[in-house]
Amino acid sequence: MPPPPQTTINATVIPTGGAISLTFVTASGGNILLSRATSGVSGLSAFTPLYSGMPLNTQYGDQLYLDLGENLPGNILLPNAQYVYQLTDSTGTYTTPALTPVSSLQLQTIDFVPILISLLQGAITATQLPNGINKCRVLQAMPINGLPPMPFVVVNPDLIQQEYVPIGESVYNLGGQLQQPNAVNIFTQAGSAKNVFRISIFALSAVERDFYRDLIIAVFRISLISVFQSLGVDWEHHYQATSFQATEVGHGLVPGFYGADILLELLGTSNVTIITHYGIIETITGTFSGASGSVTLAHVPVPVKELP
């Protein structure tokens, strides 16, 4: 029978902050004690027990404890504090380096709404309008008090829905630049999603409504290769349009207005990318001795630990 594995503890900062994951292996018998201390300018505080009792896995397997800041002020891990963990079992006591939950966080996403507004408004401005068709404004949200002069168009992101889940989306230890986070502190989870946008048209005539309906669909189709495919968000695309008319006597709209709802659908890449901004080395100190110029260097790492 092979010997039992050596007792180990690894602390990992969750990329979003707010939690630290502790994975450890202990002896299968006897009680274990998992504790946490806070490190600061005044030194290391006393260790506070997080768990005490039998091993969470008595078969020498991995054990997991997710520290969310229990028994701390506010029951949260502070982003500017440093935490040290200690594990004790029948073989001895083991301590982790100091970790900071997160230093800063920058989220990278694609904002489709301003892209669509710019494409639509640019096309409307450049189009030679037929007789009887008035210039149209493109808005991001429906007005709350009253209506702007018609015609106008409103862009609304109706739906974002997860689609295909790639194999290995949650594998961290792939090595090299595939390791998460990579050497420049970028954490990326690959995935895909379907985005659906509702483009609503409001006009005073059916002819005007139909003209802008056809123009918006044309702008969407023309922009696929030059914009959306280049962004990697157009593996598949669909569109559909419904037209309607309505009367609002109570609002002085007689006989009413004409409208259309156009649904633009894009299915493609939807990666989640977070830049963690963790430092690598805080200071380097050197000791020089001897005529031959021998050098002893020691580096002090920043008190954070990235995902392995």
Please report, for the domain that includes residue 70, its CATH number.
Answer: 2.60.40
Q: Is residue 282 domain-resident?
A: no
Work out the angle between the directed axes of helices 206-223 and 112-126 (0-180°, nearest 10): 120
> According to the per-residue pLDDT averaged within each range, which of 39-43, 248-252, 267-271, 294-298 is highest?
267-271
Report the pLDDT averaged over residues 63-91: 91
Question: Which of 95, 121, 144 is the C-terminal boundary of a domain?
Answer: 95
pLDDT higher than 80, residue 238: yes
Residue 198 has pLDDT above 50, yes or no: yes
Using alpha carbons, select from 160, 137, 151 the residue that is nearest to residue 233: 160
> What pLDDT is stored for residue 143 in this prediction?
66
- Are 275 and 186 in contact by the 8 Å Cβ rule? The answer is yes
Average pLDDT of span 99-124: 88
287 located within any domain:
no
The two beta strands, 272-275 and 186-189, are antiparallel
Question: Residue 291: inside a domain, yes or no?
Answer: no
Q: Determine the pLDDT at residue 215.
A: 97
Indicate whether 89 and 111 sit together in one domain: no
Residues 247 and 121 in one domain: yes
User: Would 221 be classed as within a structural domain?
Assistant: yes
Residue 238: inside a domain, yes or no? yes
Q: Is the pLDDT of residue 229 over 80?
A: yes
Range of weakest confidence among 118-132, 277-291, 292-306: 292-306
Chosen domain end from 95, 116, 150: 95
Most confidently modeled of 79-88, 216-225, 295-304? Answer: 216-225
Cα(260)–Cα(152) distance, rounded to whole angstroms? 11
- Residue predicted with more confidence, 23 or 277: 23
- Which ranges in the chain belong to alpha helices (H)? 112-126, 206-223
Tell me the CA end-to-end span of the chain in Å, nearest whole number. 30
Q: Are residues 62 and 116 in the same domain?
A: no
CATH code of the domain containing 201? 3.30.2000.30
pLDDT digits (tens, 9 = 90+) for 144-193: 676 788 999 999 999 999 988 777 666 655 544 455 666 667 777 788 99
CB 63 within 8 A of CB 55: yes
Q: Give the confidence band of 131 by pLDDT, cuts at 50, 70, 90.
A: very high
- Domain-located, residue 139: yes
- Is residue 206 located within the same domain as residue 269? yes
- My answer on whether 20 and 80 are in the same domain is yes
- Name the domain boundary from 67, 95, 123: 95
Q: 111 and 257: one domain? A: yes
Could you tell me the pLDDT band of residue 137, with boundaries at 50, 70 and 90? very high
What's the number of domains the chain is made of? 2
Beta strand spans in the chain (E): 8-13, 20-25, 32-40, 43-44, 48-53, 63-67, 82-89, 92-95, 106-108, 137-139, 152-162, 186-189, 192-203, 236-248, 253-269, 272-275, 281-289, 294-301
Q: Is residue 162 part of a domain?
A: yes
How far is 263 from 244, CA to CA, in rounded Å? 14
Q: What confidence score (pLDDT) does residue 225 get?
A: 93
Label residue 296 by pLDDT band (50, 70, 90). Answer: very low
Res. 57: pLDDT tops 60: yes
Shared domain check, 255 and 165: yes
In this prediction, residue 300 has a pLDDT band, given cuts at 50, 70 and 90, of: very low
pLDDT reading at 243 higher than 90: yes
Assess whether the previous peptide bond of 148 is cis (omega < 30° from 0). Answer: no
Say if residue 123's pLDDT is above 90: yes
- Average pLDDT, rounded, for the chain: 82
**pLDDT at residue 308 above 60?**
no
User: Residue 305 — very low, low, confident or very high, per pLDDT cuts 50/70/90?
Assistant: very low
pLDDT of residue 116: 96
Same domain? 35 vs 157:
no
pLDDT above 60 for 297: no
On whether both 171 and 249 belong to a single domain, the answer is yes
- Pair 35, 165 in one domain: no
Same domain, 78 and 123: no
- How crowded is the C-beta side of 254, counted as CA atoms within 13 Å? 4
The residue segments making up the domain with residue 29 are 8-95
DSSP state of 251: G
99 versus 170: the higher-pLDDT residue is 99
Q: Residue 126 pLDDT more than 90? A: yes
305 falls within a domain? no
Query: 158 with 247, same domain?
Result: yes
